[in-house]
Structure 1
């Protein structure tokens, strides 16, 4: 007997390589998965300018990054959308990424339409393609609910984002570049239990994030990436070891050996920072 509904995730036709430059931008859920990649020694940047929740703010961040000539182009970009709610600075009519604790009366909150979300995301992908014609973009919608909007309104916001991402993935010029990973569905339809949430009953628990990581790896990792992670684990464990006597000769030799293995590992997979 089956006691849960399994979300079907197609295996990707392309794979993430250890030497790929990865960018995670978007809501705090992007931060959770991005940090998991960082822990596994992938070459990753996670929300360089802070958390971005809506498509326009994501677009702004990607414009900033792609305008920086010192920034090498990214191979794979992960975008996690949290909401279609934005704040507009009344004085200029500009959608801001952060209110910076300025008085609320300076801003007007509104909701982006599906079309506006699609246009912001399309523009962001186009900027990435200008820097790297072979870039791959993985879109996700955060499963985190927004209590302040009301739960029905939060669902409507997620629905707007899901419709926008679906439309973007189907655009003829982007359907080989952009793919969708169902993180939202994994939490809301497959796990679907409060034991997979943190104490606030809104954010996924560490166990849920780890499960999503495993499902993601099944879709986007090949033998090379899996071997990379397996070889990194004993080095990571050695570097994270807390010695009883850090000044001992034995520990100095242990640490030197671990650092030597790290250099060899980085050279083998071209993942030196």
Structure 2
């Protein structure tokens, strides 16, 4: 008996290896997923200039950061942007300046697609082997009204679908659909009832890992897990001989893991 509606997640035509160089750019959801990648010792850069909600700001980050990842993940939050009235430029952060200095507008599907396509092109120049995973953030934006929030997500979904249909470098990961179909209970949200809980983000991360990670990457994570837990252990008596011996053995195991996986680094 199936008590939930499972979302199908096709395996891509590439696999993410252990300690892969990755770039995560986008909304708060990208932060949650990106931090898990860092915890599992992927060489991940996460929103180097802060959270970016719309496709234009994602492009700006890609252009500025200079990263050349093998895998990039874009998490689209909204199609709404703010322009500085004086120059007409789209700003990534209003920096608490008076609202009268900005105008708000909604990007069209074509505009969202164009910004994303340019971001992919920039990354491809730096690394011809790059693959881009596009996802839409499941976080709802109450300030737009829930109907307005869904309309915004619909624009992003259409732009993402066009991108992956027209560009073989890109694939779509259905985080939005998992949150809304598999995890459609408020117990999977934070107290604000808008953001996914840590449990929900962890569940989506596990789905991502299962579909996108190589066998070797999954093996590394299993070998790294007990060492990660050991290094995070807080002893009652850090000066004891037992704890010093415990840490020495742990450090030796980390060194052995570093030899086995050349790109692994503490």
Three-state SS of the structure 2 residue aligned to 1:230 is: helix
What is the alpha-carbon distance in structure 2 between the residues aligned to residue 209 and residue 179 of structure 1?
20
**How far 1:249 sits from its partner (Å)?**
2.6
What is the alpha-carbon distance in structure 2 between the residues aligned to residue 104 and residue 267 of structure 1?
54
**How far 1:3 sits from its partner (Å)?**
2.2
Task: Give the equivalent residue in structure 2 for 1:120.
Answer: 115
TM-score normalised by the chain length of structure 2: 0.97
What is the alpha-carbon distance in structure 1 between the residues aligned to residue 54 and residue 5 of structure 2?
29
**How far 1:267 sits from its partner (Å)?**
2.9
- How does 1:138-157 map onto structure 2 within 5 Å? 138-157=133-152
- How does 1:141-220 map onto structure 2 within 5 Å? 141-171=136-166, 174-175=167-168, 177-220=169-212
**How far 1:225 sits from its partner (Å)?**
1.1
Work out whether residues 88 and 107 of structure 1, in 8 Å CA contact, stay in contact via their aligned partners in 2: yes
Task: Give the equivalent residue in structure 2 for 1:78.
Answer: 73
Work out whether residues 41 and 265 of structure 2, in 8 Å CA contact, stay in contact via their aligned partners in 1: no
**How far 1:100 sits from its partner (Å)?**
0.7
**How far 1:98 sits from its partner (Å)?**
0.4
* 1:133 and 2:92 aligned: no
Task: Give the equivalent residue in structure 2 for 1:229.
Answer: 221
**How far 1:155 sits from its partner (Å)?**
0.2
The CA RMSD measured in Å over matched residues stands at: 1.1
Residue 100 of structure 1 is aligned with which of 90, 95, 101? 95
Three-state SS of the structure 2 residue aligned to 1:139 is: strand
Three-state SS of the structure 2 residue aligned to 1:78 is: strand
Task: Give the equivalent residue in structure 1 for 2:42.
Answer: 42
What is the alpha-carbon distance in structure 2 between the residues aligned to residue 74 and residue 59 of structure 1?
15
**How far 1:113 sits from its partner (Å)?**
0.6
- The answer for unaligned runs of 5 or more in structure 2 is none
Three-state SS of the structure 1 residue aligned to 2:5 is: coil
**How far 1:265 sits from its partner (Å)?**
1.4
Task: Give the equivalent residue in structure 2 for 1:27.
Answer: 27
Residue 248 of structure 1 is aligned with which of 240, 246, 250? 240
**How far 1:255 sits from its partner (Å)?**
1.5
Which stretches of structure 1, 4 residues or more, deviate above 4 A after TM superposition? Answer: none
Instruction: Count residues with an aligned counterpart.
Output: 265
- Name whichever of 204-213 and 262-271 sits farther off: 262-271
What is the alpha-carbon distance in structure 2 between the residues aligned to residue 153 and residue 76 of structure 1?
32
Work out whether residues 18 and 43 of structure 1, in 8 Å CA contact, stay in contact via their aligned partners in 2: no
Task: Give the equivalent residue in structure 1 for 2:85.
Answer: 90
Task: Give the equivalent residue in structure 1 for 2:4.
Answer: 4
- The answer for unaligned runs of 5 or more in structure 1 is none
Work out whether residues 19 and 41 of structure 2, in 8 Å CA contact, stay in contact via their aligned partners in 1: no
